[in-house]
Amino acid sequence: MKKLITLLSVSIVFILFAISFNASAFDEPDGKQIFEDEKCNLCHSVSTVGIEAKTKKEAFKGPDLVNLADSFEADWIVKYLKKEADKDGKSHKKPFKGTDEELQALVDWLLEQKAEE
């Protein structure tokens, strides 16, 4: 009987742990998912993860968003995507529509994308 109770409590602890682990994985915004949800992939490729810009119009197309970390700071990208900063006097075409938390997760994810030269 004692053994059974121990076994049961161990399983319950394990199940609770599994549930909370899963829940926190859901809470964490996923940069790649946000990139696709916000339709950044209409104009931008991210070649490190095989994302191809969908647009056929060359005039729309933006740069492949890899190796951003070599040229830009996270804070600047956040401002640029909120249209609070511009690049060479031009602001970004599309303002970011999601929350600040999503934007931060998106920018963190973008800064991790490093392509081999």
In the complex, which residues of this chain contact ligand HEC (CB under 6 A)? 38-40, 42-44, 60, 62-63, 65, 68, 77, 81, 87, 90, 92-94, 96, 106
- In the complex with ligand HEC, the residue whose CB is nearer, 2 or 90, is 90
- In the complex with ligand HEC, the residue whose CB is nearer, 43 or 51, is 43
- In the complex with ligand HEC, the residue whose CB is nearer, 15 or 83, is 83
**Which conformational region is residue 67 in: left (phi greater than 0), alpha (psi within -120 to 50 degrees), or beta?**
left
Q: In the bound complex, what is the minimum distance in angstroms from residue 32's beta carbon to ligand HEC?
A: 11
Give the single-character DSSP code of 87. Answer: B
Q: Both ends of the chain: CA-CA distance in Å? A: 64
Calculate the dihedral angle through the C-alpha atoms of 59, 83, 105, 66, rounding to the nearest 10 degrees.
40
> Would you say the C-alpha torsion 112, 62, 51, 26 has a positive or negative sign?
positive
Q: In the bound complex, what is the minimum distance in angstroms from residue 49's beta carbon to ligand HEC?
A: 14
- In the complex with ligand HEC, the residue whose CB is nearer, 4 or 89, is 89
Give the three-state DSSP class for 46: strand
Q: In the bound complex, what is the minimum distance in angstroms from residue 27's beta carbon to ligand HEC?
A: 21
Q: In the bound complex, what is the minimum distance in angstroms from residue 88's beta carbon to ligand HEC?
A: 6
